[in-house]
Amino acid sequence: MNTALIVAAGSGERAKLNQSKVLFQIKEKPLFLYSVETFLSLGFKIVLVVSKNDFAEVQKYQNEDIKLVIGGKTRGESVLNGLKEVETPYVYIHDAARPLITKKAIMEIDNVLQYHDAVLLAEHVTNAIKYTSNSELKSLNRDDYILAQTPQAFLTEKIRYAYTRSPGQFDDDISLYQSFYPEDKIRVIYNLEPNLKVTYPQDFLYVKSHLEKEDPMRIGHSFDIHQLVENRPLILGGLEIPHDKGLLGHSDADVLLHAIAEAMLGALALGDLGTYFPDTDPQYKDIHSDKILKTVYDLIRQKGYEIGNIDTTVYAELPKLNPHISSIRQNIAGLLSINEDLVSVKATTYEKLDAIGEQKAMAAEAIVLLKKVQA
């Protein structure tokens, strides 16, 4: 296990906010929490260095894996304060103002860190580089330069030694490290993903657009089961299927449409069918499940998504469903106003095992792919 020392103690004056930039909310989450959660998801310990003024607010998000430390007057002092609390062999020093850092970039560092005492995350220079000398404009070879990013990772004892003896102003942690260990070879990892450091007001718009970007595809899954009883019609996929038993439920108990509808809700993390159609509410007594399906799909479309495809399996010993599969597919496609080739319905038995095999129950399983509607 390694430690991520995340520096969130800067004032952020250039951001021109009425609060610390690391507390700026995007999707109801403060900026600093994005990188914290990324490292936590990879099993890192967290040392989070914050300003004294922000401590109470940041503390609301603290848990047993996050140790809060008060920062100093400079970034160097803040890093040193954090390094005093690091107990793992290696430490990743990262700026909380870089919320777009990816797991992939962190893991690429991790893969080489065991062979190096210092690793720099960087990006290639893609723009032309110019400089002026005595009012004369000159060009530099951009291939000779790289842009440093964070996290920068180190053997803890070596970077702590450097900061303990010289926590002054350096361009970055690597620069300080090199001043103490000039013979060490720094391993450079090139990051091809966005990793902007939020500094100016326009940077928030850029980062916000990335963090608020919704997934182009979402997948949902559901499994539903109902008892088979006498004196009930068997409704499946919105159709009445000839059989001497039907499914028991508060609604018409269409186990197949229920599974599809709940898989849609699951794809967008919108809860389950009971949230929207509670079996304790009399208004939903004997409701047709085609209405449930259409209501859920209207909600999905309001969220900006549409059906990519549906794959279902019905588990039943009897009746034999193969003669009805085509009609069921057509009906589901019609209810959702989609092409029939986007709807798969399969049927299988339970090999006479359990309640399904004993013809006491019927079940259905659905996987639904939703696609973001293109504007």
pLDDT in tens, the chain (375 residues): 899 999 998 665 554 556 688 898 888 889 999 999 999 999 999 999 999 999 998 898 888 889 999 999 899 999 999 999 999 999 999 999 999 999 999 999 999 998 999 999 999 988 888 888 777 888 888 888 999 999 999 999 999 999 999 866 788 999 999 999 999 999 999 999 999 999 888 888 888 888 877 678 899 999 999 999 999 999 999 999 999 999 999 899 999 999 999 999 999 999 999 889 988 888 888 899 999 999 999 999 998 899 999 999 999 999 999 999 999 999 999 999 999 999 999 999 998 999 999 999 999 999 999 998 865
The residue among 362, 352, 252, 351 whose CA lies nearest residue 315 is: 362
Q: Is the dihedral of CA 21, 27, 33, 34 positive or negative?
A: negative
User: Which listed CATH number (2.40.50.140, 3.40.190.10, 3.30.1330.50, 3.40.50.720) goes with 217-372?
Assistant: 3.30.1330.50
d(CA 82, CA 78): 6
Q: Which pLDDT value is given to residue 211?
A: 82
Q: Which pLDDT value is given to residue 26?
A: 85
Spatial neighbors of 51 by CB under 8 A, at least 6 apart, are 8, 9, 10, 11, 20, 70, 71
- Beta-ladder partners of 133: 136
Give domain limits for the chain. 3-211, 217-372
Q: Which pLDDT value is given to residue 219?
A: 96
> To 10 degrees, the CA torsion angle through 328, 329, 335, 340?
-160
Q: Which pLDDT value is given to residue 375?
A: 53
User: CA 294, 295, 297 angle in degrees (round to 5)?
Assistant: 65
**What tokens were used for 126?**
């893609």
Give me the CATH code for the 3-211 domain, please. 3.90.550.10
